[in-house]
Amino acid sequence: MKLAHILAPIPYAELHGSEAIEITALSCDSRQIKPGTLFFALRGTAADGHRFIRQAVQDGAAAVVLEDAACAPADCTWIRVTDGRAAMARMAAAFYGNPTADRPLIGITGTNGKTTTTYLIEAILAAAGLPAAVLGTISYRFGATTIEASRTTPESTELQAAFRQLADAGAQAFVMEVSSHALEQKRADGCHFDVGIFSNLTRDHLDYHGTMEEYLHAKQRLFAELLQPTAAKPSRRAAINMDDSYGARVADTAACPVIGYGIDYPGDVRPVEVAITVNGISGTIRTPAGEFRFASKLLGRFNLSNILAAVAAGVALDLPLTAIKAGIEGHATVPGRLERVGNTFGITCLVDYAHTGDALYNVLATLKEIATGRLITVFGCGGDRDPGKRPIMGKIAAEMSDLAIATSDNPRTEDPLAILAQVKEGITPLGIREYTPEELTARPALDEKGFVMLENRRAAIRLATRLARPGDILLLAGKGHEDYQIIGTTKHHFDDREEAAAAFGEKTA
Ligand SMILES: CC(=O)N[C@H]1[C@@H](OP(=O)(O)OP(=O)(O)OC[C@H]2O[C@@H](n3ccc(=O)[nH]c3=O)[C@H](O)[C@@H]2O)O[C@H](CO)[C@@H](O)[C@@H]1O[C@H](C)C(=O)N[C@@H](C)C(=O)N[C@H](CCC(=O)O)C(=O)O
Ligand SMILES: Nc1ncnc2c1ncn2[C@@H]1O[C@H](COP(=O)(O)OP(=O)(O)OP(=O)(O)O)[C@@H](O)[C@H]1O
Ligand SMILES: N[C@H](CCC[C@H](N)C(=O)O)C(=O)O
Ligand SMILES: [Mg+2]
């Protein structure tokens, strides 16, 4: 494709060289340059891409997009822009033929509930005759095509390439998670959204955003900037959870009409009567287009909020209520979200992705409501991620469980024992009894409320399955669908579901 075509949508400051050259690939990483690549020099937190321009040109870059003309190459076409990441996102969309301009695109942002809600919306769209691709934490997929997810929302070049591939595979709509990192880094700036959803905002990622205000500002970009009406998509909508304390502030900044939803907030989309039981959620939901009765197998109040978000998106797209109802009712479970691990011991073993204080609180509150026996929780906190959430998660897990086993999540480059020490800071003030793994192994009948620290996750899962008795609920939290554990910079195969199944295989009674 000619550079001129890729440049057409962006207001650039300066161009040196020829717009007529052919571009065959896009990259912001000098280590991935093939001849014909358009290289974007981006300023990052660890490095400045401008330093790698010479290397990129040596390796065959056809042109360079940069912010600082002082770093411009003498022997290659270059384009100066004021915002490299924003330019890259729009140029990537142009390069891949703007796949989201002529298909519905629904984006969801918020601390928790994004993945679950994308699966619900996928089911609604399917019922409405619009087979949709889903892009998020688990994968980027449509039908038989699955692209491994590098991140929840990948870099704009990777994102637009995925849209293209999934559209070519037959996707007629897109549903995607939009992370706060992505909004801050403008990875989604080349996307043409029809509907944006705000699920909630609770503590996470403060290592990156610094403060809750900055975290909120990142989320607000979706509504204030990326949902502005355009010629391609003149009537856009926002669906906002007004139960959340930040909902009103997100709604205030929206550049398009807002549909407010909430369990408690008397908004446009709300339940008029609802029952949340061990079997799921049922009731009646009221929308501006009318009411309908529904029954879902999803568990817990937080999933009612996710259902309302999906219904609000369906209403925003003017889909028939029959399709919205059919989607909600037909939706199966989401991998790694309260996913059951079968066993012959009468133990309810659930693998869940709760990796924030709020998610852990919600999932434990839900399980406590339905528990008839004890609640045993295996959990940990990821390394190289917000350390502030560690004592909070420790406190919630220990307070709400009969036995909490604190272990490693993905330690990444941090010392797992140092992470656990921070988790323990939140538990110690509770005055709950600490057991050693050896003591519990020797005397499994001990059941005074307590906690254990056990770094090795496999050993922690084994201990938990050994201690669990018929009627108990065993929650393995934090890693959900992940089939790996990152220790240092190495990704080892590790899957909580497989680990639990193997541990049950060894359990004698
Ligand atoms: C914190 C974060 O989001 N960082 C992203 C950011 O990195 P950075 O700004 O630190 O980049 P850098 O290392 O300083 O490098 C600057 C530029 O120089 C380039 N470079 C660097 C070295 C070199 O030799 N040559 C070269 O060209 C880099 O490719 C980059 O373009 O820009 C990079 C390029 O786009 C991203 O790869 C990187 O994502 C990292 C890998 C990451 O782990 N991100 C996670 C935290 C993330 O995005 N998570 C969210 C949220 C998940 C959730 O909801 O919970 C997600 O969407 O998954
Ligand atoms: N609406 C919600 N509010 C609070 N907690 C929720 C909600 N929905 C799900 N959860 C909890 O959060 C966990 C993660 O849910 P989900 O994967 O849907 O969220 P996410 O926003 O996609 O997370 P991530 O940012 O990691 O991609 C679930 O396993 C569940 O424990
Ligand atoms: N998308 C989230 C997932 C966290 C999952 C948890 N298992 C961890 O590794 O901390 C992140 O990158 O912060
Ligand atoms: Mg997700």
Q: What CATH number is given to the structural domain containing 477? A: 3.90.190.20
Ligand 3 centre to CA of 204 (Å) is 10
- On whether residue 365 sits in a domain, the answer given is yes
88 lies in the same domain as 118 = no
Q: Is residue 210 located within the same domain as residue 84? A: no
pLDDT, position 105? 98
Query: DSSP states of 151-183 as a string?
Result: SSS--HHHHHHHHHHHHHTT-SEEEEE--HHHH
195/143 same-domain check:
yes
Does residue 137 sit in the same domain as residue 275? yes
254 and 156: one domain?
yes
For the ranges 6-10, 284-288, 468-472, the lowest mean pLDDT is seen at 6-10
**R_g of the chain computed on alpha carbons:** 24
Instruction: Tell the residue number behind the tokens 């205000």, with chain if given.
Output: 213
Please identify, by atom number, the ligand 3 atom nearest to the C-alpha of residue 410. Answer: 9
- The pLDDT value recorded for residue 435 is 97
269 and 129 within one domain: yes
Q: Which residue has the tokens 């991998």?
A: 335
The closest of 363, 235, 259, 255 to 311, measured between CA atoms, is 259
pLDDT at 205: 76
What's the pLDDT band for 356 if we cut at 50, 70, 90? very high
pLDDT at residue 203, rounded to an integer: 73
29 within ligand 1 shell (Cβ under 6 A): yes
**Residues 257 and 377 both lie in one domain:** no
**Residue 348 vs residues 170, 335, 343, 409, 508: alpha-carbon distances, Å:** 39, 16, 8, 21, 17
Does residue 100 sit within a domain? no
CATH number at residue 14: 3.40.1390.10
Q: Is the CB of 481 under 6 A from ligand 2?
A: no
- The reply to whether 157 and 239 lie within a common domain is yes
Q: Is residue 72 part of a domain?
A: yes
Q: What's the angle, vertex CA 133, arms to CA 267 and CA 100, rounded to 5?
A: 80
For residue 334, the 8-state DSSP code is P
Tell me the pLDDT tens digit for each residue of 94-105. 999 999 999 999
**Res 189 pLDDT > 80:** yes
- ipTM score here? 0.93
What are the start-end ranges of the H helices in 333-456?
A: 357-370, 389-400, 416-427, 437-442
- Kindly report the length of the chain: 509
For a ligand 3 pocket test, name from 352, 355, 484 the mutation site with the most ligand atoms within 8 angstroms of its C-beta.
355
Stretch 326-332: mean pLDDT, rounded? Answer: 89
Q: Domain for residue 280, yes or no?
A: yes
Gap between the Cα atoms of 293 and 49, Å rounded: 54
Q: How much distance in Å is there from the Cα of 66 to the middle of ligand 2?
A: 37
CA of 204 to the centre of ligand 2 (A): 12
The number of the ligand 2 atom at minimal distance from the alpha carbon of 137 is: 27
Specify the pLDDT at position 153: 98
Average pLDDT over residues 396-413: 98
Are residue 247 and residue 395 in the same domain, yes or no? no
Amino acid at 367: L
Q: Report the CATH number at residue 292.
A: 3.40.1190.10
C-alpha span between 295 and 274 (Å, rounded): 10
Structural domain including 73 reads 3-95
Q: Do 147 and 274 lie in a common domain? A: yes
* Structural domain ending residue among the three candidates 33, 68, 95: 95
Residues 210 and 322 in one domain: yes
Q: Per-residue pLDDT tens for 339-350?
A: 989 999 999 999
Same domain, 56 and 177: no
Q: Poorest-confidence range of 171-175, 418-422, 441-445?
A: 441-445
d(CA 55, CA 46): 18
How far apart (Å, rounded) are the C-alpha atoms in residues 483 and 494?
5
Number of structural domains (the chain) is 3
In a domain, 364, yes or no: yes
Last residue of some domain: 267, 302, 330? 330
Please report, for residues 88, 318, 322, 324, 334, the alpha-carbon distance to residue 128 in angstroms, rounded to integers and kept in the order given.
Answer: 34, 10, 8, 8, 20
Q: Which residues hold their Cβ within 5 A of ligand 4, which is an ion?
A: 114-115, 137, 177
Does residue 275 fall inside a structural domain?
A: yes
Last residue of one domain, picked from the residues 311, 330, 349: 330
Q: Residue 418: inside a domain, yes or no?
A: yes
CA distance 485 to 461: 14
The answer as to whether 229 is a domain residue is yes
